[in-house]
Structure 1
Amino acid sequence: MSRIRKKNQDKIINVASRLFAEKGYAGTSTAEIASEAEMPKPNLYYYFNTKDKLYRAVLESVTKPLLAASEPLSKTDDPREALTEYIKTKIIISRDHALASKTFANEVMTGATHLPKDISDALLEQSRFIIQKFESWIEKGLMAPVSPYHLVYMLWASTQTYADFNWQICQVAGKSELDDKDYEDAANFLAEIVLKGCAVKS
């Protein structure tokens, strides 16, 4: 892919992420996206010839890193290291893909009617893998006998809230936006809470 093509695609996806996050799938038009991206509508269709394909690209921009975030759980034998890296990665995704994360959250909250089935299936498979990993650690005595399901839900909520509810967090923190130190502190705090609360052992 040429540098210019990549630059234009990224620009379109960034603009679309913001508009889809603000207005949802139905409330956002390709004409509006093209206008905000400062390009003729035919140019937008050159890169994404349907609204569905552009919406998918926005969703993939956050779901691909979300799916990759669980890799430490399969590559690392140390539960403490794996969970720490997983939480850190999820926080980084909330920092770097905030608008796409909001789009994904809105999609899920409205019934996931426009979520492509292959993405939905991959996310479900990942969730089952993480739950099985937690169950394995519990059986080996490397984690307290907590509910693997509720632990997954808590990890989703506590990490993705830094993207999906960023405005509220900034209001409470008295900041216009969070900085890298804020995200680093969040990752360290959440990891400490989970490791201690679940009595995770190396």
Structure 2
Amino acid sequence: MTSIRERNKELILRAASEEFADKGFAATKTSDIAAKAGLPKPNVYYYFKSKENLYREVLESIIEPLQAASSIFNQPGLPADVLSGYIRSKIRISRDLPFASKVFASEIMHGAPHLSPEQTEQLNAQAKHNISCIRRWIDQGLMAEVDPHHLMFSIWAATQTYADFDWQISTVTGKAKLEDADYEAATQTITRLVLKGCEIAEHAPVASEQVG
């Protein structure tokens, strides 16, 4: 059973993600976070001590899933399976954590001033590892000679856009809110573009289960 403390912290984190995503760190007020969470303002300071700490907690809440998504590169696997699994995980993050994803993207665009040196090193090390895996597959003749860095950047951009530009995507598709089927279509489309564009043989069918 979830404790009152855990429930309140979750409410505050969710509200903070929305406020920081909408207004940015500087313009966000703790009173607005408390109001959105439906809790007294002192609760924000009781659980998180400061707005800065709360912002870092929001960043941490998205860094962990991002690292988990990359974990598929840390085990043996064929390029088709690894890249399709990675794309699926990244789309799932954009669907399930859209506000925290926007906060993270904004943080990166501003030079990552609130990321700790440890977090920056952790993220960079994983990215370099992922890219080295792609380079190895190319050297082994398992995929076309593409630039590994820009392939990774392209996957990041294609999957992140479903969090950052959700309003535009919903408007163009004529939907108030994207459904699971839309995220599944996005996953399949991006995967197909990457695998076909990189001339990667689909040794096993790309998983067709819903993103959830």
TM-score (norm 2): 0.91
* Amino acid across the alignment from 1:155: I
Once the two structures are superposed, the pairs formed by residues 112-151 of structure 1 within 5 Å of their partners are 112-151=112-151
Deviation at 1:30, TM superposition (A): 1.7
* Amino acid across the alignment from 1:112: A
- Structure 1, residues 83-116: CA drift from partner, whole Å, max 9, x if none? 1110000000000000001111111122222222
- Structure 1, residues 153-201: CA drift from partner, whole Å, max 9, x if none? 1000000100011001111101111000000111011111101110123
Partner of 2:109: 109
Name the CA distance, whole Å, in 2 between partners of 1:76 and 1:163.
30
Deviates more, 1:169-178 or 1:111-120: 111-120
Name the CA distance, whole Å, in 2 between partners of 1:117 and 1:19.
25
* Amino acid across the alignment from 2:144: A
Answer yes or no: is 1:86 the counterpart of 2:52. Answer: no
Deviation at 1:3, TM superposition (A): 2.4
Contact 1:94 1:162 in 2 (8 A): yes
Partner of 2:38: 38
* Amino acid across the alignment from 1:3: S
**Secondary structure in structure 2 of the residue aligned to 1:77:** coil
- Structure 1, residues 136-159: CA drift from partner, whole Å, max 9, x if none? 100111111100010011000000
* Amino acid across the alignment from 2:116: P
Deviation at 1:35, TM superposition (A): 2.4
**Secondary structure in structure 1 of the residue aligned to 2:141:** coil
Deviation at 1:76, TM superposition (A): 3.5
- Structure 1, residues 68-95: CA drift from partner, whole Å, max 9, x if none? 1011122242111111110000000000
Contact 1:73 1:79 in 2 (8 A): no
* Amino acid across the alignment from 1:90: K
Deviation at 1:38, TM superposition (A): 2.1
Name the CA distance, whole Å, in 1 between partners of 2:4 and 2:46.
13
Name the CA distance, whole Å, in 2 between partners of 1:75 and 1:130.
11
Name the CA distance, whole Å, in 2 between partners of 1:25 and 1:75.
37
Q: Percent identity?
A: 49
Partner of 1:180: 180
Over aligned residue pairs, what C-alpha RMSD do you find?
1.4
Aligned residue-pair number: 202
TM-score (norm 1): 0.95
Instruction: Structure 2: state its 5+ residue gaps.
Output: 204-212
